[in-house]
Amino acid sequence: MFRRTMLNGTLAAAALPVVARAQGRDLTVVSWGGAYQDAQREVFFRPFQQQMRTRLLEETWDGGIGVLRSRIASGANTWDVVQVESEELLIGAEEGLFEPMDWAAIGGRDAYMPEAVNDHGVGAILYSFIIAYDRARMAQGPENWADFFDTAKFPGKRGMRRGPKTTLEMALLADGVQPLRVYSTLATPAGVDRAFRKLDSIKADLAWFERGAQPPQWLASGEVAMTVAYNGRIAAANATDGRNFAITWTNNLFTLDSWVIMKGSPNRARALEFLKFVGQPEVQAGLPPRIPYGVTAVGANGRLTSAVLAQLPTAPANIATALQINDRFWLDNLDRLTQRFNTWVSR
Amino acid sequence: MRASPRLASALLTAPLLLFLMLSFVAPIGAFLWRAVSDTEVAPVLPRTIAALAAWDGTVAPDEAAFAALVEDLRAARERDRAGGAGGIARAASRLNADRPGFRGLLPMTARRVEAPFEGPARAAVLAISEEWGDAETWGAIRRAGGPLSSFHVLAALDLRQDAAGRVRAVPEDQRVFGTVLARSLWISLLVTGACLALGWPLAWLIATTRGWAGTLLLGAVLLPFWISLVVRTAAWMVLLQREGVVNAALGGLGIGPLPLMMNRFAVVLAMVHILLPFMVLPLVAAFRGLDPALPRAAASLGAPPWRVFRRVTLPLCLPGIAAGCILVFIQALGFYVTPALLGGPSDQMLAWFVGFYATRSVNWGLAAALSLLLLVAVGVCVALYGRLAGFRRPGAA
Amino acid sequence: MGRGLIWAAGVLVAAFLLAPILAILPLSFSAGSFLFYPLPGLSLRWYRDFFGSDFWLPALWNSLVIGGAAAGLATVLGVPAAFALWRLRGALRAVVLGVVLAPMVVPVIVVAVALLLAFGPVGLVATHAGMIVAHAALGVPFVVVTVLASLEGFDAVQLRAAAACGAGPVRAFLRVCLPQIAPGVAAGAVFAFATSLDEVVVALFIAGPAQRTLPRQMFAGLNDTISLTTAAAAAMLVVVSVVLLLVVGWLRRRAPG
């Protein structure tokens, strides 16, 4: 009997891969976690599951084109729909990491604002990287990036996003480079050196976050005196956790995230159903009141109150001095600068 | 069984060995093999690699190599289109690990040379990118020629081979793994030393105290030993936060708040806490095995306490002490979760970089080479441990 | 050196071992949401949060299912192997033992990445089956070591006696040997279960959202916002650990010899 049990066990182990492959996988949607994903759950994920009577699995990631490359190249990809940053969309599309977007299936190109339309992705939100600080701890906070890098004037740790994108731009802005000249400066080796020198000047005071949920948490606990943050999460912390965080919009870095469908996803049809659902203006209009990010469906903004609109990165006062992140620059330079940044930060 | 005990043993161990072979040995072997194998580029650029065989590596090669490159890339484009195999992308990814920029350069060159052109291939390719005029660009291709290569292992040691074949240290601003290896060894050593210092008195008490007090002390070691590593790391996060238990208490005394987290201190503290039971349990076993009559005899013969300790107690306990130290050291070397949660970027150990290169940067060769480093370090320790204590884990037995 | 000094040092170290765990348990009963003392009041709100969330309860369930199945698989494979190893001597024993114990010393990050790359192409990533296989491999050494230890107290002559009475080898093992080493087998299974329950690195690399175990979910929670729900989850894991510790203690007292 014992031998038979063992034999069965071995057979079962050998048969596992076959069984595993035969089982269908639920639609897996990947986003950025924290308050943002909480809002998405309320507005998108739960209603979608209820309406379609289907199961949706959530996953959280911290970004990085290498993560997507590894998933596709290792054959171990289990993600279907992923929210990606703008340069990840371009790089991934070029490298064949994403399925082409079936625009007819998600309402047509005209249903979205032009910036949100891409052959491999559909825009999800518009947002800004801003400076945030806690008014409860600092009455008069930093007014621009130069202040952010001025540890004599404003002592204490600073949170920045781990990675070259946004960080190098901010360093140059702090060093006095005009917003319009940031990317042309970064395109030269001397410009990159200049940015790293500026970062070197406060390296000991920098704390690096990887997830968008960290900056408000670090501010709340006093871990950092000020931090780079996503505008929406700071507003969400004020609204739901009763915080008094301030946002400095001067020279904020403005950009757009997109939804993509991973190459070879067995759930492509359901993924498109999901994107169609979250692309409806009346559904999208539910998001900004919970977390003030701009949305992409034509007609969604018309459903928002002026109080909500004023908090969005696209409000005239907020976008006036904004620098739009240059996707083309990062498409060409992300790998090289990431390598340099990682070496620099790990030492 | 009566027929052959060996056969019976083989039959009884076979299922487990087969299972471990499939679920453990083969996967790890295949993974580590990537550290020394190099197979992504050769199928895509076979003619180029052949043309570079006799190249001296000082300046960019001659027309023959350029022509071979063009021919290879045209054939590879055709194959990729026909089978959708993505060979060029894989080759570019591997070459990019050697020379950043290749991920874009190779597919772009492949696209541009597809259309027929007049004149020498050299001029046409150089017109696409000046990178092709650099000997190091070609050196990267030759280094990736496979099927075996030292590239990843050298990279894990901050070394590289230049186009002419000389091994040299990478430029100072790109060195990182020497620091990481030294850091991993240093943190592990520090943790081991701290565990020994803290574990000694506790183990001595447990070994020499009878009754409920001894049981209670042993319980204080066994309880954390059984509690999940993540839970214990979480406990330290809650304690050490800016607005955590410790800072709140310090604040009551008018101190702080102090930055206790995201630094080396937090990592070492939590690792000591997590690994201390692995030190205490072998020490207890060693102290219990000690015949109390021996030190007493030495003392009665007039030896001062320090001398008794150094000449009698210590040598008798040495195997147990060494076992505990090695056990702690091995585990400390491979730590991943605790530094990731409690440390900053400059506190990450080898394991973190293995994970990074495997899942965030498609560089499995480097991840495998770093794993190899880690396994060699662990292997040396295990061999030491095997000599001292046999393959028995005191905590589990 | 004074005995008093050793006592003071030993008790301090014991306190260091217990304090972090004891410090966070009461926080999970806080009525507020701060991570420090004094508590603003007592409540079960974080436990309600735990049981009401979309993530924690499935994670607990996954931990129990994966841990149970992995422990079962490790035991079924490990016990016969331990029995064979017990009677083996010499180089063969050393080799087999080396392979069987390897999962205990190979850094788990290496296992995790290797399994990710090996399981990916065969469709075992993000499946319960993949997690069970991986955790069984990590748990097997504990089963083998524990069962080997309890076989030390078993007298091989009994098997020969059983054979002389006409019992086949399998029957002799099942009727004579197994009942005597049963506490050791059970303890081994508990060790394997505890290994799975504790494991987070392999889960980080090869589990999908549908296979998230409790430690994996805690890791995500710690990375995101540390809420007191995480403390409640930690408290539940501590309770499970204590139960397992007591079970092993009880089994050990029942072991022969």
Place of tokens 């076989």: C151
Note whether C231 and C28 are within 8 A (CB): yes
| Shortest CA gap C2–chain A (Å) | 43
Select from A73, A343, A63 the least CA-distant residue to B363: A73
Report pLDDT digits (tens) over C48-103: 999 998 899 999 999 999 999 999 999 999 999 999 999 888 888 889 999 999 99
Could you tell me what percent of chain C has a pLDDT over 90?
69
Angle between the B177-208 and C3-24 helix axes, to the nearest 10 degrees? 120
| B contacts of A335 (beta carbons < 8 Å) | 96, 100-101, 103-104
For chain B of 397 residues, list the mean pLDDT of each consecutive stretch of 10: 67 93 97 94 93 88 92 90 76 88 88 86 89 91 90 93 85 86 96 96 92 92 92 92 85 84 93 96 90 82 83 84 92 95 91 93 92 95 77 40
CA distance C108 to C100: 15
Looking at chain C, the number of H-run helices and the number of E-run strands are: 12, 0
Helix (H) or strand (E) holding B359: helix B350-359
- Residues B85, B101: Cα–Cα separation, whole Å: 22
Report pLDDT for B81: 80
Torsion of CA B325, B330, B333, B336, to 10 degrees: -120
How crowded is residue B369: how many other Cβ atoms within 10 Å of its Cβ?
Answer: 26
CB-based contact A331:A91 (threshold 8 Å): yes
Domain ranges across chain C:
1-43, 55-254
Instruction: Check: CB of residue A166 under 8 Å from CB of residue A208.
Output: no
Contact between chains at A74 and C73 (C-beta distance less than 8 A): no
CA distance C134 to chain B (A): 7
Q: Which fold has domain B177-388?
A: MetI-like fold (1.10.3720)
Instruction: Report in angstroms the alpha-carbon separations of B237 from B231, B247, B338, B342, C202.
Output: 10, 12, 10, 7, 22
Give dist(CA A162, CA A227) in Å, integer.
Answer: 12
pLDDT of residue C174: 87
- Write down the pLDDT at residue B83: 66
pLDDT of residue A2: 41
Whether A278 and A284 have beta carbons less than 8 Å apart is answered as yes
- Band of residue C126 on the pLDDT scale cut at 50, 70, 90: very high
In the 3-class helix/strand/coil scheme, how is C181-236 assigned residue by residue?
Answer: HHHHHHHHHHHHHHHHHHCCHHHHHHCCHHHCCHHHHHHHHHHCCCCHHHHHHHHH
Q: How far apart are CA B343 and CA B263, in angstroms?
A: 5
Q: What is the ipTM of this complex?
A: 0.93
**CB-CB: which of C35, C77, C110 is closest to B238?**
C35
Question: CATH second-level architecture of C55-254?
Answer: Orthogonal Bundle (1.10)
Distance from CA of A161 to the nearest CA of C (A): 15
Name the nearest CA neighbour of A161 among A343, A347, A338, A319: A338
Of the candidate ranges A64-78, C24-38, C131-145, the one whose mean pLDDT is the lowest:
C24-38
Three-state secondary-structure class, residue B10: helix
Alpha-carbon separation of residue A295 from A109, A157, A298, C94, C105 (angstroms): 15, 33, 9, 64, 51
Give B135→chain A minimum CA distance, Å.
19
pLDDT on residue A6: 42
Helix (H) and strand (E) counts for chain A?
A: 17, 10
Dig out the tokens for C38 from the structure: 């004094």
Counting as low any pLDDT under 70, the low residues of chain A are 1-23
Cβ contacts below 8 Å, chain A against chain B, sum to: 79
* Position A81, amino acid: V
Instruction: Give A-chain residues touching C121 at CB under 8 angstroms.
Output: 74-76
Question: Rounded distance, CA B49 to CA A117, Å?
Answer: 42
CB contact (8 A) between residue B375 and residue C107: yes
Q: Verify whether the Cβ–Cβ distance B362 to A336 is below 8 Å.
A: no
User: Residue C239 is encoded by which pair of tokens?
Assistant: 């309770």
Residue range A129-163, pLDDT digits in tens: 999 999 999 999 999 999 999 999 999 999 999 99
Task: Please state whether beta strands A81-85 and A226-230 pair in parallel, antiparallel, or not at all (unpaired).
Answer: unpaired
**What does the domain layout of chain B look like in residue ranges?**
46-174, 177-388
Chain C positions touching A75 (Cβ under 8 A) are 120-121
Buried b (16+ CB within 10 A) or exposed e, B252-261: eeeeebebbb
Q: Which helix (H) or strand (E) holds A248?
A: strand A245-261
